[in-house]
Structure 1
Amino acid sequence: MSEPPSLAALCEAAGTKFVLALFVDLNGKPCAKLVPVEAVETLSAEGAGFAGYAVGAIGQEPKDPDLVAIPDPASFTPVPFVKEGLAIVHCDPHVLGKPWPFAPRNILRALVQQAADAGFEPWVGAEVEYFLLKRSAAGELVPADDDDTAARPCYDARGVTRMYDHLAAISSAMNQLGWGNYANDHEDGSGQFEQNFRYADALTTADRVITLRYLLSVMAAGRGMIATFMPKPFTGKTGSGLHLHLSLTSGDAEVFPAGDSTEDARGLGLSATAYAFVAGILDHARALQAVLAPTVNSYKRTGATATASGASWAPNTPTWGGNDRTRYVRIPDAHRLELRGGDGSANPYLAIAGALAAGLDGVKSFADPGEPGSGPGDSLPPTLLHAVEALEADPVVTGMLDAAAGEWAGDAVPSVAHYFAQLKREEFFTWHSDVSSWEHHRYLTAF
């Protein structure tokens, strides 16, 4: 078997002049250094150094040694449609020569290995929803398209056509990269869109979600727009999800379809392993929401009781069923399940890792999801604080967050799960302590 091409060779073949050596923190913030092609061999050999505390939520203090981003040549992505000669390479952060356990890409790598140890290869598709906005003369956020005012704009051919230049540019970019863009549509909220690409292995899909968010942000900005993945930017409109389509193979064989009718316990064409995987996700759903819906704003989306279109499309109870978009876990066909609990703020590495951890736990314990339409009986957490409390009580989801800590056993490195929970708890209370305009309207002259 021949050696895969080096990063330098990939740059030469693509005509690359600069590389963004990129990774994300636990919040999903993309961090990078711009490396000239003349220094790419040094990047490959030594990585790119970062002051980890300055990065953000990645488990470091100012006194800590450098975070070193080691490029993964398999993720090399030329993006000449952003800047001629520019490419992205996703990186695995290391500290002192060991994979840093707070790095989301390293966490997902660990879960993919756990799946491999159990005999499976995970495959993932992702639906990236977002809004295209601008600021009005008064400074308010409004849809970038002034004519996007229909009461029910979803799938409106005229809305897609008015945004043709942006949508076509993103579609062409995805297809140039070989991602297989197969649909671009106007979603349920004014100014909301979705652009789909083919599924791939878990790590590749997570990388592509991060890359697509970057492309959408910078290419929209080039047209004077703001692309936002905020879960619920407007009170009365539908929010943005990050729905994940999950499946497993073992060798060359699909795992989820039933081998015969005697194996299909619920009549949806699934195998016993697939039903157990669904059950695992349902059993850990409350804790999973801390990584699938990881912001204060997330719970404005799942808690919505009404929207302009009449539906929120965001499940607030962990139930499952067939081709039913009101369910937390939807079964579109016998080859995959759709996890609908995630939103646009989800870090794709953590969201996918969490889904794998929960599903594999269900497989390990031969869990039963119950009849279609049912679930564990609890509602999903109503706030980020409740989700954090559920996370801390769930050893499977906390174990997922700590999954990359193996090489640091015995070192003075805090638990990633504890760090993440504290991070999110502080986020909640920072919001909670901020006096809002709602409070002025409600209380200013009420007493």
Structure 2
Amino acid sequence: MNAERANLAELCEASGTTFVLALFVDLNGKPCAKLVPVEAIEQLIDEGVGFAGYAVGAIGQEPKDPDIMAMPDATSFTPIPFVKPGLAIVHCDPWVSGKPWPFAPRVILQEVVARAAAAGFSPYAGAEVEYFLLKRDAGGALVPADSDDVAAQPCYDARGVTRMYDHLASISTAMNALGWGNYANDHEDGNGQFEQNFQYAEALTTADRVITLRYLLNVMAHERGMIATFMPKPFSNRTGSGLHLHLSLRDASTGEPVFPAGADGTDADVDGFGLSTTARSFVAGVLAHATALQAVIAPTVNSYKRTGAIASSASGATWAPKLPTYGGNDRTHYVRVPDDQRIELRGGDGSANPYLAVAAAVGAGLDGIAGGAVLGDVGSGPDTPFPATLLSAVEAFEADPVIRGVLDAAGPGVSDYFAHLKKNEFFAYHAAVSEWEIERYLTAF
């Protein structure tokens, strides 16, 4: 029995677990799992549990390839009896032929964390998970699950939060039972849109928690007859859903933060944001790679209807960045600096795979540090157009060896596969005839 995973059996026994969801995600973020009875837990520990990789989805396999074996990480063990009595999740690392599979997002993030450690840093992340709670009306159209949620500016409305109290409280209680430290639950800017926050943690832990939270939101909303969606822009006239990432670095040896001015032995704070030279170079790296980064943190066709919104939302603002700029406590920027401890990357959305998003953002920042990148004036950014479509983002990704190198961190070929996957997604969308086209062109000529 692998010593690092051996205590999984003990964790199951102590928590009264009877079944374990051995879970991992593909490159698109699809959660894949097998339900393992506790009687087979030692087999899961020793051998993993097998999956036909091509059937999983976007994970770099063909039908002829050998099985993916999902190897459990006991440190991620998460009892979820509030979903089903005796149920738990354990996040897994996909292996093939006795080695970690390089196309697995969790494996990729672990490699980037190892790179950061080699450079003397430990990356930390917080995540803001925005989502809509919807239902279908009698005609089949998607509408807010709360039929009274019709205000033009519903953000932070106490009445909207109270009407959804049972759902929000059950998710909050679940997060706190798991030790995540839920500290706020609010109605966001769109009708039917919510956000529930939890404390930041090491990068891998936070990515695991985002996947777990999405799962919990989906299944617990479904039990109440609702649809929880992380689609970036489900309504053209309402604010879209972001996955804002709060990123920071600590000294790998001491555990001390390195973003505050002076923490890295420098006296940076040149613009009043309180950032060290290391932090400023990290931000400069993120901005330098922003156009390519968007292909990873905003990876769907629908993503660019959020960042590229032409019309404002019903509330008066889209809250999505349109240019790769940075600033202080100002939510119009791509990178916001709320304090001297962290930066907030606001370009990502609800469709982002959290493992890849964190890995790519950290990789871009580390490149800035390694190259001694110099941050420009407040409000400035690289002199490159922000991608208007998924296709233009993927083309920028293909031209950026640093962001490609993040996806290839655990082995070659992943970045090519990802670019091909996303181009095909764009062309499939482009080939579909939309209702907009019918209305625009049917009798126009």
For 1:232, what is the secondary structure of its paired residue? coil
**1:411 maps to which residue?**
none
Selected match of 1:379 from 379, 385, 401: 385
**Whole-angstrom CA distance in 1 between matches of 2:435 and 2:255:** 57
1:378, distance to aligned residue in structure 2 (A)? 2.3
**1:409 maps to which residue?**
none
**1:416 maps to which residue?**
414
**Whole-angstrom CA distance in 1 between matches of 2:26 and 2:394:** 18
Deviation string 1:75-133 (CA, Å, 9 cap, x unpaired) is 00000010000000000000000000000000000000000000000110000000000
**Whole-angstrom CA distance in 2 between matches of 1:271 and 1:446:** 58
| Kept in 1: contact 2:5–2:45 (CA 8 A) | no
| Kept in 1: contact 2:267–2:277 (CA 8 A) | no
**1:302 maps to which residue?**
307
| Counterpart amino acid of residue 274 in structure 1 | A
**1:266 maps to which residue?**
271
Selected match of 1:363 from 369, 373, 398: 369
Deviation string 1:261-299 (CA, Å, 9 cap, x unpaired) is 932222210000000000000000000000100000000
**1:213 maps to which residue?**
214
| TM-score, normalised with respect to structure 2 | 0.97
Identical aligned residues as a percent: 73
Selected match of 1:323 from 326, 329, 340: 329
Structure 2: any 5+ residue segments left out of the alignment? Answer: none
1:379, distance to aligned residue in structure 2 (A)? 2.8
For 1:196, what is the secondary structure of its paired residue? strand
**1:438 maps to which residue?**
436
1:380, distance to aligned residue in structure 2 (A)? 1.5
1:4, distance to aligned residue in structure 2 (A)? 7.9
**2:86 maps to which residue?**
85
Selected match of 2:259 from 236, 250, 256: 256
| Kept in 2: contact 1:401–1:417 (CA 8 A) | yes
Is 1:392 the equivalent of 2:398?
A: yes
**Whole-angstrom CA distance in 1 between matches of 2:378 and 2:274:** 12
Is 1:344 the equivalent of 2:342?
A: no
1:5, distance to aligned residue in structure 2 (A)? 6.2
**Whole-angstrom CA distance in 2 between matches of 1:292 and 1:271:** 26
For 2:306, what is the secondary structure of its paired residue? helix
Return closer, same or farther for 1:158/1:267 CA change in 2, 3 Å cut-off: same
| Kept in 2: contact 1:316–1:379 (CA 8 A) | no
1:67, distance to aligned residue in structure 2 (A)? 0.5
| TM-score, normalised with respect to structure 1 | 0.97
| Kept in 2: contact 1:317–1:378 (CA 8 A) | no
| Kept in 2: contact 1:265–1:272 (CA 8 A) | no
| Kept in 1: contact 2:5–2:72 (CA 8 A) | no
Q: Equivalences for 1:45-194 in 2 at 5 Å?
A: 45-194=46-195
Deviation string 1:389-438 (CA, Å, 9 cap, x unpaired) is 00000000000000011xxxxxxxx6100000000000000000000100
Deviation string 1:203-255 (CA, Å, 9 cap, x unpaired) is 00000000000000000000000000000000100000000000011022110
| Counterpart amino acid of residue 97 in structure 1 | G
| Kept in 1: contact 2:22–2:92 (CA 8 A) | yes
For 1:299, what is the secondary structure of its paired residue? helix
**Whole-angstrom CA distance in 1 between matches of 2:413 and 2:322:** 29
1:43, distance to aligned residue in structure 2 (A)? 0.2
| Kept in 1: contact 2:291–2:397 (CA 8 A) | yes
**Whole-angstrom CA distance in 2 between matches of 1:433 and 1:224:** 33
| Counterpart amino acid of residue 145 in structure 2 | A
**Whole-angstrom CA distance in 2 between matches of 1:174 and 1:337:** 24
**Whole-angstrom CA distance in 1 between matches of 2:68 and 2:148:** 47
**Whole-angstrom CA distance in 2 between matches of 1:25 and 1:440:** 35
| Counterpart amino acid of residue 254 in structure 1 | P
| Counterpart amino acid of residue 175 in structure 1 | N
**1:281 maps to which residue?**
286
**Whole-angstrom CA distance in 1 between matches of 2:440 and 2:432:** 15
For 2:196, what is the secondary structure of its paired residue? strand
| Kept in 1: contact 2:249–2:257 (CA 8 A) | yes
Deviation string 1:317-342 (CA, Å, 9 cap, x unpaired) is 00001000000000000000000000
Structure 1: any 5+ residue segments left out of the alignment? Answer: 406-413
| Kept in 2: contact 1:124–1:246 (CA 8 A) | yes
**Whole-angstrom CA distance in 1 between matches of 2:384 and 2:195:** 30
